[in-house]
Amino acid sequence: MTFFIHTFGCQMNVNDSEKMASVLSRGGMRPVERVADARVVVVNSCAVRAKAREKALSFIGRLHPDQIVILAGCVSQAEKEQLLTRHRRIDFLVGTHQFHCLDHIVAGLLQSRHRGASLGFSRRWTELVPDAFARSSSVTAYVSIMEGCDNFCSYCIVPFTRGREKNRPGRDILAEARSLADQGYREIVLLGQNVNHWICPESQETFPSLLDRLASVADVQWIRFITSYPGYHDSRLVRVVASHDRIARHIHLPAQSGSTRILRRMNRNYSREEYLKIISQYRRAIPRMRFSSDFIVGFPGETEKDFMATLSLLRKVEYESVFSFAYSSRPLTRAQAWGDDVPREVKRERLRILQQLQEEIQCRRNRALIGSEQDVLVMAPHPSAVKEVIARTESYRVVNLESRMPPGSSIRVRITAAGPHSLRGVEVRN
């Protein structure tokens, strides 16, 4: 029996899809590379924005009627059984805490195509999959250390789809990281909705201590962590990052807005000034530290002055990259009750202006690297250029170059050209 998993959304979803593939393989099923060849199709969905939800449902609408369709992840968790009434092509709903049951669910559907849902929340962290499971990359491995969120930002549906914060025991995290390093993975990415708020449920150890120990025992090129919450960065975490070269000099630090007034309405629990203080602390301790971020434009009540504050934050920080979106109201959130009072055309124009500014910043910063030498990690063969590979710098910039080195190789390159989203280089040979 064959299956295909299509993933929408964040790295947490990618990691969940890897685990779902392992569970299905454990049940005797075989993955296929084309959705048309699959008897069972699992769509792992994202509910953070309305557009992501619509993409998942549109994908399902294009599937063959004979295929068994399972909608997994955040959309299922948020909207529950009503999806089965509205979308007849969905056979079964699997929530964010139920993918460990996927093999049994599929076995039942193959015997009797009885529609249903498995949507319960786990109250604590549980090791739900085998220690070894199929990874989507031979270079980078995701390691989940916590899940859920207790912050309840006013725009965000995550606490309702992922549940309250649950933390994985530190000994299990360290054991998995050591195993991955021994298997030859060159990059480990620690995952969590608020990854830097991790607290060991057994010892009360905190994230800076875990990161310190992990960087001391895991023999990899780089360790990264996403997504971190600005309010949980402190001087101790800065010191730990600064003390280990294998902790990448790049942090994804979502700001969401450059206006303190809007940040308060978002329930982000930090001000513009406090956010900039975090940036300054890192740059004083690690001059080459680089940042990326997330921004929402057109949040309810956002004025032109608020938007200008966001643009000024982009200019001040000069991010390596930015994920930016127009606000869309999400069910269950506090902001849904406020009304979507920023006109759609205003949102669209603000998003265009922000993205244009960020592209100019990226162009300028990338062009400044032309002629420099950079250490990069080869990630994969280039999908469309023969003899070329895709590599990444420590600051997560994409570098395309001609090379025979296999994925996982660390090489030095000289940058020869630059665009807003990637660099081009040549290998520097000793």
Overall CATH class of domain 373-427: mainly beta
CA distances from 212 to 34, 101, 169, 207, 230 (A): 42, 35, 16, 8, 19
The per-residue pLDDT for 359 is 98
Residue 180 corresponds to which tokens in the numbers above?
């991955």
Least trusted range by pLDDT, from 38-47, 134-143, 246-255, 320-329: 134-143
Percent of the chain whose predicted confidence (pLDDT) is above 90: 89
Tokens of 27: 């049940």
What number of residues does the chain have? 430
The answer to whether 91 touches 69, Cβ cutoff 8 Å, is yes
Percent of the chain with pLDDT over 70: 97
**Residue 225, number of CB atoms within 10 A of its CB:** 25
**Residue 129: its pLDDT value, please?**
52
Q: Which residues pair with 256 in a beta bridge?
A: 295
For CATH 3.80.30.20, the residue range(s) in the chain are 140-367
State the pLDDT confidence band at 216, using cuts at 50, 70 and 90.
Answer: very high
- Token pair 């199709």 is found at 41
Confidence of residue 430 (pLDDT cuts 50, 70, 90): confident
Residue 127's pLDDT is 57
Q: Which contacts (CB < 8 Å, 24+ apart) does range 27-30 have?
A: 27/102, 27/103, 27/104, 27/106, 27/107, 28/1, 28/103, 29/1, 29/2, 29/3, 29/103, 29/106, 30/1, 30/2, 30/3
Q: What is the pLDDT of residue 429?
A: 85
Crossing angle of helices 235-243/272-285, nearest 10°?
Answer: 30
Res 194: pLDDT: 95
pLDDT category at 384 given cuts 50, 70, 90 is confident
Distance CA 12, CA 106 (A): 23
pLDDT at residue 315 in the model: 99
Please give the average per-residue pLDDT across 133-147, as a whole number.
Answer: 90
Q: Is the pLDDT of residue 420 over 80?
A: yes
pLDDT at position 243: 97
> What is the per-residue pLDDT for 386?
84
Find the mean pLDDT for residues 354-380. Answer: 98
pLDDT band, residue 123 (cuts 50/70/90): low
Tell me where in the chain the CATH 3.40.50.12160 domain(s) lie: 2-118
Full 3-state SS string of the chain: CEEEEEECCCHHHHHHHHHHHHHHHHCCCEECCCHHHCCEEEEEECCCCHHHHHHHHHHHHCCCCCCEEEEEEHHHHHHCCHHHHHCCCCCEEECCCCHHHHHHHHHHHHHCCCCEEECCCCCCCCCCCCCCCCCCCCCEEEEECEECCCCCCCCCCHHHHCCCCEECCHHHHHHHHHHHHHCCCCEEEEECCCHHHCECCCCCCEHHHHHHHHHHHCCCCEEEEECCCHHHCCHHHHHHHHHCCCECCEEECCCECCCHHHHHHCCCCCCHHHHHHHHHHHHHHCCCCEEEEEEEECCCCCCHHHHHHHHHHHHHHCCCEEEEEECCCCCCCHHHHHCCCCCHHHHHHHHHHHHHHHHHHHHHHHHCCCCCEEEEEEEEECCCCCCEEEEEECCCCEEEEECCCCCCCEEEEEEEEECCCCEEEEECCC
Domain 2-118 fold: Rossmann fold (3.40.50)
Domain boundaries for CATH 2.40.50.140 within the chain: 373-427
pLDDT 10s digits, 296-328: 999 999 999 999 999 999 999 999 999 999 999
Other Cβ atoms within 10 Å of 130 Cβ, number: 11
131: confidence class by pLDDT, cuts 50, 70, 90: low
Domain 140-367, architecture per CATH: Alpha-Beta Horseshoe (3.80)
pLDDT of res. 13: 93
Q: Which of 168, 162, 163, 133 is nearest to 20 (CA)?
A: 133
